[in-house]
Amino acid sequence: MQLTHEENQFQRKTFPITVVCDNIYFQQNIGSIFRISEAFGVENIFFLGKDIPLTPRKINKTSRSTHLHVPHSTIEKTNDLAEYLLQNNFEIIALEITSNSKPLKEVTIPNDKKIALLIGSEIDGISEELLKISHQIVHIDMFGKNSSMNVVQAASIALYELTSS
């Protein structure tokens, strides 16, 4: 028998993880990022960019009201975000396929630091400025012909890995 939301026996937990969305503008993705972040106990979401469409009416269809439960803020400038993450001693983990990225399953999670998981825009991925300050760059091994996946799907896989270690 399927359990209702109230009957599930999952332990409520928050992880010291901040999801950083680098210029993600598609409203379906924004709503889904809220939903998956809430499901994995993410502490915070930062949306980097100008005029991020955080209109509740438009993102609620995919967020299922989780945007009301996950703390979030918008930062317009990459420099401001980078300065904040570095000053506050985050372990910056970029989810991107690069010439020096390593498989996600090889990620190292320090015990004494908060994690900033960087996810990139639907078109351009993570900016060079953010890749340069990243302590680790990880990718998801894929075995088909396609070399990328939807940002929310990738974030879901990464959050599962980060919270199950």
- Going by C-alpha positions, the residue among 28, 35, 46, 32 that lies closest to residue 130 is 46
Q: Is 0.75 topped by the overall pTM?
A: yes
The answer on pLDDT for 130 being more than 70 is yes
- Reported as a single tens digit per residue, the pLDDT across 137-149 is 999 999 888 878 8
* Helices and strands in the chain, H and E counts: 5, 7
What integer pLDDT is reported at residue 3 of this predicted model?
67
CA distances from 137 to 58, 65, 77, 107, 127 (A): 32, 31, 21, 9, 12
Burial (CB count within 10 angstroms: exposed 0-12, middle 13-18, buried 19+), residue 125: buried
What integer pLDDT is reported at residue 152 of this predicted model?
95
Q: Walk me through the domains of the chain, giving residue ranges and CATH numbers.
A: 15-164 (3.40.1280.10)
The answer on pLDDT for 53 being more than 90 is no
